[in-house]
Amino acid sequence: MKVSFKDLGLVNTREMFAKAVKGGYAIPAFNFNNMEQLQAIIQASAETRSPVILQVSKGARNYANQTLLRYMAQGAVEYAKELGWKKPQIVLHLDHGDSYEVCKSCVDFGFSSVMIDASSLPYEENVKLTRKVVNYAHKYDVTVEAELGVLAGVEDEVASEVSHYTKPEEVIDFVKKTKCDSLAISIGTSHGAYKFTPEQCTRDPKTGKLVPPPLAFDVLKAIEKKLPGFPIVLHGSSSVPQEYVDMCNQYGGNLPNAIGIPEEQLRKAAKSAVCKINIDSDSRLAMTGAIRKHFAEFPGHFDPRQYLKPAREEMKKMYTHKIINVLGSNGKAR
């Protein structure tokens, strides 16, 4: 049986992105796999009145089950209303859909947005597959994100050794042919908590800390020039906050040289045509740091609620910070 996202109280990304591009801010796209993460995302979004994209990756579908995740997202809309958010603007999005079949099943199942990631295929095949997904999704008013260029790093089952920046000369043709609603580009962000090797970084002479290479804003500018006002997406945009890496390491973890995208670079990107910024690793780090700390401080605790509660609070704090201080999406969904 087919379900429309509209019956679940979800929205697609069309209007949300148009406003974000015009307003010079970006919508947070947070991945979720479990209840505590979802609660933290919804609490942070409801309290700040920020539109939000709930992302489900292949790894999440394998871990938690696609059916369960969809009903959780449906529950999240009702939960948001209970928190006093009268008109929640919540998108349920498939992250890195890798086939027409997966995208179709999500459209039929109540997702309001899907990504078809055919970026590893030759250009013409990427166009063809993306176009096929768009044709189907648009029949149900579901919006489609496509990707051009390849990101480095590992995220669930998406992995690549090296990045290939998006070629600005391809974007007009690609968007025209595929009719996709937004475009994920590669300008130096990457998946995971180890976005750069120490060799790719420089060291701050004062603190001795690694400083990652800057994003390719010249490529972003060239793309914006080719596609004025078209919604652009950044994947792999966690900042890997040092406080969480330290928290993990201080309490028995081993995350040497974990490094992300500095927040001031994302702030700059959010003001451009970039209107969706994907953040996953930061939530993993906040959760793991908080749990490790709790285990160290309360070795006698064994009720999961005892350690998941501070983990949830830490994630909520992190999500709220991103919304207000990095993306600027607070107050945009009243």
Q: Which residues bind Zn ion (CB under 5 A)?
A: 235
* Cα angle 21, 276, 267; round to 5: 75
Provide, rounded to whole angstroms, the least separation between the CB of residue 126 and Zn ion: 16
Closest C-alpha among 20, 18, 17, 105 to residue 56 = 105
Question: Which CB atom, from 98 or from 263, has the smaller least distance to Zn ion?
Answer: 98
| Residue in the structure block whose two tokens are 């994907």 | 278
Q: What are the structure tokens assigned to 179, written together?
A: 């009719």
The residue number whose beta carbon is nearest to Zn ion equals: 235
Closer to Zn ion by Cβ: residue 49 or 276? 276
Catalytic site includes residue 218: no
Q: Residue 297 Cβ, how far from Zn ion at the closest point, in Å? A: 34
Nearer CB in complex with Zn ion: 235/294: 235
* Other beta carbons within 10 Å of 228: 8
Residue 211, judged by CB atoms within 10 A of its CB (0-12, 13-18, 19+), counts as middle
User: Could you say which DSSP state residue 7 is in?
Assistant: G
Catalytic residue among 95, 117, 156, 282: 95
d(C-alpha 86, C-alpha 90), whole Å: 12
Q: Which is nearer to Zn ion, 278 or 329 (CB)?
A: 278
Provide the angle, in degrees to the nearest 10, between the axes of the packed helices 217-226 and 168-178.
40
Q: Give the shortest CB-94-to-Zn ion separation in angstroms.
A: 11
Quick one: how far is CA 162 from the chain centroid?
A: 20
* Closest separation in Å from C-beta 10 to Zn ion: 21
Q: Which residues are catalytic?
A: 95
